[in-house]
Structure 1
Amino acid sequence: MGHTKEQLLDYLKEHGICFESYEHPVVLTVEAQAKHIGHMEGGHSKNLFLKDKKHRLYVVSALTTTNVDLKVLSQRLGLGKGGLRMAPEEALKDVLQVPLGCVTPFALYNESARSVALLLDKGFKAQKCVFFHPLSNDMTISLTTDDLDKFLMSINKEPAYVDLEATVPVGKEQLPDLAVHVPTEVIILSNISQQEVINDIGSLNISDRESEISRLKENANPKPKAITKVNNDKKGTNIVGSTASATNVGNLVNSIIDTTSAAILSEITEDAVKLHGKDLGPIVAGAVRKRLGPELESLMMLLKNAAYTQGFTAGIGSRSLQIN
């Protein structure tokens, strides 16, 4: 679970970051927000949450009056004309961990979002102050860009202000001017569809496709964590071998995700993409089911037995999980 609005505001105060807050009804659009604070002097913002074909994520924050052409921005990032699209709702929930309508630079306060790239409108610098939702769309806060920068630096995020309306030629002799801002980390969502991965990889040219498949395989952990013995920590019992308790739900989930990801990516080869094309999805699904079925059944039985003998709670706060 991500941080709350109250936690963020306390953090700003603790770090000497000055701001003014304005409460209002929940709003989902820039237009709805403007009905409550649009009369205030300063830079009002619109914020986009985007992904590229390699599953890297971006937050683009701009003045509401700035024209952001995604095709041009995509080229300037070195992603080609159609390299950017809106990020899926799952990424909003799992990575930024904010509700719909709450995408702002402050979402990067959540640890899960630290690898998301942030591009800020150069036009913000000319404003007396800038306005953003503080993780919740029932409030807007205003602060200077100096204080915004102070916040970003405090979470180890270098502020990047760019001219989002610039038309910069990109070619063999002119490298993409914003390529330096492309994130180095790839975030593969736990519930991303197999077909989406296949489609995204299939849309690359042959040489890029092979390197992308290799990179994704390296990203996945081929060793199931469920059978690796580790030490216990203060948070509880971690996953251990079959002779001990398997009571850490988070680690078990990560193990399933890692194992499944590795299995899927091992089936997606360049030859397989060429041979099966759009029909590769069902073929990969069948192979992964056959390969992982027995292993996951054993893992679930281990978890079930541990739960029966010890009982356990997991999750965040006071939420508990009971296995019957």
Structure 2
Amino acid sequence: MIPTYLTKFGTVAAAAALAVSLAPTDADAQERVRWKLHSAYGTNLAVLGPVPGRIAEMVSKMSGGKFDIKVFEPGALVGGNAYYDPVSQGAFEIAYGTPGYHQGRDSTYNLFSSWPFGPGVGAYLAWFKHGGGYELARELYAKDNIKFFMCGMIPPETSGWFRDEITSLDQLKGLKMRFFGMGALVMQKFGVSTQLLAAGDIYPALELGTIDATEFSMPAIDRSLGFYQIAKYNYFPGWHQQATTNEFLINMDAWNALSPEYQAMFETACDANFTAEFAEGENLQYQAMLDNEADGVENKTWPPEILDQLRAAWDEVNAEEIAKNPLYAKVWESWATFEEKYRVWGDRGYLK
């Protein structure tokens, strides 16, 4: 016969175990959160398009469905690139794009996105994470009540789609071209009239002749936008964007209202997306280039003498920006200081 005191103890222990099993976890205890996310890129766009949905799905799963982020296509809430002020003002909680879209506010944003003859993914990520880049970016965005997240990078882009073969930079004079970031200022040195169009606006402009040429992104992304149907000369390498960041901008009040658990979930999803997006970007390009060739596109490589001219023009542009913009100069000094140290490793660790 089991002693009475043991029976009572067993009953109490079982009840305690049951109570623990039924107690809410941290995720269960969290309040439900519903955010609206504006994407600068259509969800059907290769590599870039799936990113917001991927992050939203990860956050939802980690929170047991209680942290829900609804993704809106470009134009559903605001125009593709026009998300900075709405996030700052709290019109919606979060937006996805790239810092270079804000270059009209301050050229410094470009240094958190990409710049001509700039770093590849490895060096750029190292500067962001360990060389002070992240802190400088967050300081800039925080002035406008925005929490900045760098949630991914893509590999090098192509440097342009042209209707005619380019054998001399003199041929660029007078062209109207969609061009991104600091590279646009370089192209202007050669007489190009540049404009920054959102992804969905480029093909119609190219088709109608509003622009004569364009660049946008990597071959797989450009192919999904149909440039190969009009412009048959695609030039490499992407001297203007060797690596380009993705940003998620979050209204600071909305971010601060999240629990630490939900904040950690979002940051974890950001880090996970970096690997998924970069690997997909590297994987898809060769097939897109082969498919373009099958459709009559010539994949062209700039000769060294043209790249030298472009680099010299970039050095002029950069010096001009440093001279006239103290904030740009501050961020550039951070990068240049980091790069000098990094080259001890970078110049020796990699095959040229």
How does the TM-score come out when normalised to structure 2? 0.23
How does the TM-score come out when normalised to structure 1? 0.24
**Larger RCO (CA within 8 A; separation ≥ 6):** 2
Which protein has the bigger helix share? 2
Larger radius of gyration: 2
